[in-house]
Homo-oligomer: A and B are copies of this chain.
Amino acid sequence: MGDLKKIHISLTKPDREMLKAIYRLSKGGGFAHTGALADAIGLSPGTVTTTIKRLAERDLLEHQPYRGVELTTAGRRAAVSAIRRHRIVERFLSDMLGYAWNEADRLAGAFEHELPQEVEERMFVAMDRPATCPHGFPIPDPDVSHIPEMPTLYALEPGAEAVVAVPGSTDPEVVKFLDAMGLRPGVRVLIKEKHPFDGPLVMRVAGQDRTIGEKVASQIFVRVLSDSDDGSNGSGKLKEQPA
């Protein structure tokens, strides 16, 4: 009865990329700054300013000059919808075309923007509605304006059990290292020990004890298993979360 029509916003590639980047950089609802966006997308700061003004015009975000931008609800919905599409396409590349999980991100980014959302939905059902992208990040439902955040591996406390997710945009060298450690998307880990002062983390992965440093452990995200559901889910600081 309200006049909330399901207006379907048509966005261009740069607009979508911008919204995705803002969402990534300002997850909890904070501000994203021009410079950070320029770095993230690989555009000049001037271009970022122009683009966000265009998006502000369409009420997808609010722009406080010299301060930064914040997504509106509509903007968050659009961003999440872009992320959904990205993750479905990644899943398609990995499940239906056999690409390795660390190749999917780049290729998905190349054509996801032109894909009719009709085809996106068909891909989704053809793959039996997968819950996550090949990197282990959740595929959000359509029309939601928020994706539940995941803590990093390093945010877990000893005793916690979790399933790992590794961003598709991770540095190849790191990916090789992680692979050697058995830390692939979907793998289950049990935290055994965490040394103080940002010290290394000891855990059990596929029947083996593994130790990794804070730096790497902070790049890996996890879905905590409902068992010991304490692990810093709401309070611990959550990092930027690509995929």
A42 interface hit (Cβ, 8 Å): no
Neighbouring B residues of A116 by C-beta, 8 Å = 107, 110-111
List A residues 98-129 near B (Cβ within 8 Å).
Answer: 98-99, 107, 110-111, 113-116, 118-119, 122-123, 126
A189 interface hit (Cβ, 8 Å): no
Q: How many residues of A contact B (CB 8 A)?
A: 17
A93 interface hit (Cβ, 8 Å): yes
In contact, A98 and B119 (Cβ under 8 angstroms): no
Instruction: Mark A126-142 against chain B: 1 for CB-CB distance below 8 A, else 0.
Output: 10000000000000000
Residue of B nearest to A126 (CB): B97
Oligomer: number of copies: 2
Instruction: Mark A74-97 against chain B: 1 for CB-CB distance below 8 A, else 0.
Output: 000000000000000000010011
Residue of B nearest to A13 (CB): B114
CB distance from A91 to the nearest CB of B (A): 13
In contact, B110 and A115 (Cβ under 8 angstroms): yes
In contact, B126 and A98 (Cβ under 8 angstroms): yes
- Per the bound structure, the CA–CA distance linking A97 and B97 in Å amounts to 13
Interface pairs (9), CB distance under 8 Å = A96-B96, A96-B126, A97-B119, A97-B123, A97-B126, A107-B119, A110-B116, A111-B111, A114-B114
